[in-house]
Amino acid sequence: MIIVMKPRTKQEEIERIRVRLSQLGCEVRDIKGLNYHIFGLIGNTNLVDPDRLLANEGVEKVIHVQEPYKIANRLFQPEDTIVDIEGQKIGGENFAVIAGPCSVESEEQITGIAQAVKAAGAGLLRGGAFKPRTSPYSFQGLGEDGLDLLKIAKEKTGLPIVSELMSVEHLPRFCQDVDIIQIGARNMQNYELLKAVGQIRKPVILKRGLSSTIEELLLAAEYILAQGNDQVILCERGIRTFEHFTRNTLDLSAIPVIKKLSHLPVIVDPSHAGGIWWLVEPLAKAALVVGADGVMIEVHNDPVNAKCDGQQSLKPDKFASLMDSLKDLAQIQGKKI
Amino acid sequence: MIIVMKPRTKQEEIERIRVRLSQLGCEVRDIKGLNYHIFGLIGNTNLVDPDRLLANEGVEKVIHVQEPYKIANRLFQPEDTIVDIEGQKIGGENFAVIAGPCSVESEEQITGIAQAVKAAGAGLLRGGAFKPRTSPYSFQGLGEDGLDLLKIAKEKTGLPIVSELMSVEHLPRFCQDVDIIQIGARNMQNYELLKAVGQIRKPVILKRGLSSTIEELLLAAEYILAQGNDQVILCERGIRTFEHFTRNTLDLSAIPVIKKLSHLPVIVDPSHAGGIWWLVEPLAKAALVVGADGVMIEVHNDPVNAKCDGQQSLKPDKFASLMDSLKDLAQIQGKKI
Amino acid sequence: MIIVMKPRTKQEEIERIRVRLSQLGCEVRDIKGLNYHIFGLIGNTNLVDPDRLLANEGVEKVIHVQEPYKIANRLFQPEDTIVDIEGQKIGGENFAVIAGPCSVESEEQITGIAQAVKAAGAGLLRGGAFKPRTSPYSFQGLGEDGLDLLKIAKEKTGLPIVSELMSVEHLPRFCQDVDIIQIGARNMQNYELLKAVGQIRKPVILKRGLSSTIEELLLAAEYILAQGNDQVILCERGIRTFEHFTRNTLDLSAIPVIKKLSHLPVIVDPSHAGGIWWLVEPLAKAALVVGADGVMIEVHNDPVNAKCDGQQSLKPDKFASLMDSLKDLAQIQGKKI
Amino acid sequence: MIIVMKPRTKQEEIERIRVRLSQLGCEVRDIKGLNYHIFGLIGNTNLVDPDRLLANEGVEKVIHVQEPYKIANRLFQPEDTIVDIEGQKIGGENFAVIAGPCSVESEEQITGIAQAVKAAGAGLLRGGAFKPRTSPYSFQGLGEDGLDLLKIAKEKTGLPIVSELMSVEHLPRFCQDVDIIQIGARNMQNYELLKAVGQIRKPVILKRGLSSTIEELLLAAEYILAQGNDQVILCERGIRTFEHFTRNTLDLSAIPVIKKLSHLPVIVDPSHAGGIWWLVEPLAKAALVVGADGVMIEVHNDPVNAKCDGQQSLKPDKFASLMDSLKDLAQIQGKKI
pLDDT digits (tens, 9 = 90+) for B12-43: 999 999 988 888 888 898 888 878 899 988 87
**pLDDT at residue A220 in the model:** 97
* Cβ contact D310–C136 (<8 Å): no
- Percent of chain D whose pLDDT exceeds 70: 99
CB contacts of B49 in chain A (<8 Å) are 138-139, 307-308
The architecture (CATH level 2) of C83-333 comes to Alpha-Beta Barrel (3.20)
Among residues D294, D272, D282, the alpha carbon closest in space to that of D318 is found at D282
- Percent of chain B whose pLDDT exceeds 70: 99
* Cβ contact C51–D309 (<8 Å): yes
* Cβ contact D279–B253 (<8 Å): yes
CB contacts of D275 in chain B (<8 Å) are none
Q: Give just the sign of the alpha carbon dihedral B288, B290, B295, B300.
A: negative
When CB atoms are compared, the residue of B29, B38, B75 closest to C7 is B75
Q: Is the pLDDT of residue B46 over 80?
A: no
Q: What is the pLDDT of residues D244-280, one digit of tens each?
A: 999 999 999 999 999 999 999 999 999 999 999 999 9
* Chain C residues with at least one Cβ partner in B under 8 Å: 2, 4, 7, 29, 31-36, 38, 40, 42-44, 61, 63, 65-66, 75, 240-242, 244
C291: how many CB neighbours lie within 10 A of its CB? Answer: 21
**pLDDT at residue D156 in the model:** 97
CB contacts of A64 in chain B (<8 Å) are none
* D2-63 classified as CATH 3.30.70.1140: yes
CA–CA dist D158, D155 (Å, integer): 6
Most C CBs within 10 Å, among D170, D214, D311, to test the C interface: D311
Low-confidence residues of chain D: pLDDT under 50: none
ipTM of the complex: 0.95
Lowest mean pLDDT among A290-294, B308-312, C152-156, C285-289: B308-312
- In angstroms, the separation between the Cα of residue D144 and the nearest Cα of chain B is 35
* Cβ contact D243–B213 (<8 Å): yes
Q: Which amino acid would we find at residue D127?
A: G
When CB atoms are compared, the residue of B31, B35, B240 closest to C29 is B31
Q: Is the pLDDT of residue B44 over 80?
A: no
- In angstroms, the separation between the Cα of residue A334 and the nearest Cα of chain B is 35
- In angstroms, the separation between the Cα of residue D269 and the nearest Cα of chain B is 13
Lowest mean pLDDT among A119-128, B106-115, C61-70, C82-91: C61-70
Lowest mean pLDDT among C32-36, C67-71, C153-157: C32-36
Alpha helices in chain D (DSSP H): 11-22, 50-54, 107-120, 144-157, 171-177, 191-198, 214-225, 254-261, 270-274, 277-289, 316-333
Residue spans of the domains in chain C: they are 2-63, 83-333
Lowest mean pLDDT among A14-23, B114-123, B187-196, C111-120: A14-23
Closest C-chain CA to A260: C278
Q: What is the pLDDT of residues A135-190, one digit of tens each?
A: 898 889 999 999 999 999 999 999 999 999 999 999 999 999 999 999 999 999 99
**pLDDT at residue C306 in the model:** 85
Q: What is the pLDDT of residues A269-287, one digit of tens each?
A: 999 999 999 999 999 999 9
User: Taking residues B181-195, what's their average pLDDT?
Assistant: 97
Q: Is the pLDDT of residue B214 over 80?
A: yes
When CB atoms are compared, the residue of C136, C189, C313 closest to D222 is C136
Q: Which amino acid would we find at residue A259?
A: K
**pLDDT at residue C280 in the model:** 97
CB contacts of B58 in chain A (<8 Å) are none
Alpha helices in B165-299 (DSSP H): 171-177, 191-198, 214-225, 254-261, 270-274, 277-289
**pLDDT at residue B102 in the model:** 94
* Cβ contact C240–B242 (<8 Å): yes
Return the partners of chain C (3 or more C-beta pairs < 8 Å).
Answer: A, B, D
* Cβ contact A279–C273 (<8 Å): no
- In angstroms, the separation between the Cα of residue C310 and the nearest Cα of chain D is 5
Q: What is the pLDDT of residues D205-235, one digit of tens each?
A: 999 999 999 999 999 999 999 999 999 999 9
Lowest mean pLDDT among A67-71, A115-119, A178-182, B301-305: B301-305
- In angstroms, the separation between the Cα of residue C83 and the nearest Cα of chain B is 27
Among residues C3, C309, C18, C321, the alpha carbon closest in space to that of C164 is found at C309
CB contacts of A136 in chain B (<8 Å) are 191, 219, 222-223, 226
Q: What is the pLDDT of residues A4-48, one digit of tens each?
A: 999 889 999 999 999 888 888 888 988 888 788 999 888 777 778
CA–CA dist D305, C1 (Å, integer): 19
Q: Is the pLDDT of residue A91 over 90?
A: yes
* Cβ contact D253–B241 (<8 Å): no
* Cβ contact C31–B31 (<8 Å): yes
Mean pLDDT of chain B: 94
Q: How confident is the model at residue C27 (pLDDT cuts 50, 70, 90)?
A: confident
Closest B-chain CA to A248: B211
Closest D-chain CA to B281: D290
* Cβ contact A241–D242 (<8 Å): yes
Q: Is the pLDDT of residue C248 over 90?
A: yes
* Cβ contact A4–D65 (<8 Å): yes
- Percent of chain A whose pLDDT exceeds 70: 99
When CB atoms are compared, the residue of C52, C190, C216 closest to D134 is C216
When CB atoms are compared, the residue of D31, D35, D63 closest to A29 is D31
Q: What share of chain B is helix, strand, coil (3-state, %, to 5)?
A: 40, 20, 40
Q: What strands, in cross-sheet order, belong to the sheet with B59-63? A: B27-32, B37-42, B2-5, B59-63
Residues 6+ apart with CB under 8 A from B331: none
Q: Is the pLDDT of residue B47 over 80?
A: no
